[in-house]
Structure 1
Amino acid sequence: MVNKDQVKGVAKQATGSVKEAVGKATGSKKTEAKGKAEKAAGKVQKGFGDAKEKVKKAL
């Protein structure tokens, strides 16, 4: 089963990857940094969702 945090986390990672790629392609360090930050935030959110799912299964 997948929860909202997992889905939102994966979506943030994808958006961050796109922003990072656009930043690299255009030479915009600011856009690239924003993409990396969003990607990292997505990983954290997905990890939180994964942990919630493990707790839910354990109960």
Structure 2
Amino acid sequence: MSGGQKAKAKTEQAKGKLKESTGRAVGNERMTAEGRAEQAKGDARQAKEKIKDTLKD
């Protein structure tokens, strides 16, 4: 996995977790949902890069 894409995926996942936690703490369902969506986006990016790496070998 390229370093830039790996870092981007990890950043999206971390931002999503933070946003979800904050949303839960303040009772904001929209923020919680946005956090989950960002985490899913990061997970998808990471999975895509792992598949690319597998196919290169």
Under TM normalisation by the shorter chain, which class is it?
0.7 to 0.9
Question: Under a length normalisation based on structure 2, what TM-score does the superposition of the two structures give?
Answer: 0.87
Structure 1 unmatched runs, 5+:
none
Partner in structure 1 of residue 14 of structure 2? 14
Identity rate of aligned residues, in percent? 30
Structure 2 unmatched runs, 5+:
none
Runs of 4+ more than 6 Å apart: none
- Provide the alpha-carbon RMSD of the alignment: 1.1
Partner in structure 1 of residue 38 of structure 2? 38
Aligned residues between the structures: 56
Question: Under a length normalisation based on structure 1, what TM-score does the superposition of the two structures give?
Answer: 0.84
Once residues 52 and 5 of structure 1 are traced to their aligned partners in structure 2, the CA distance between those partners, rounded to angstroms, is: 12
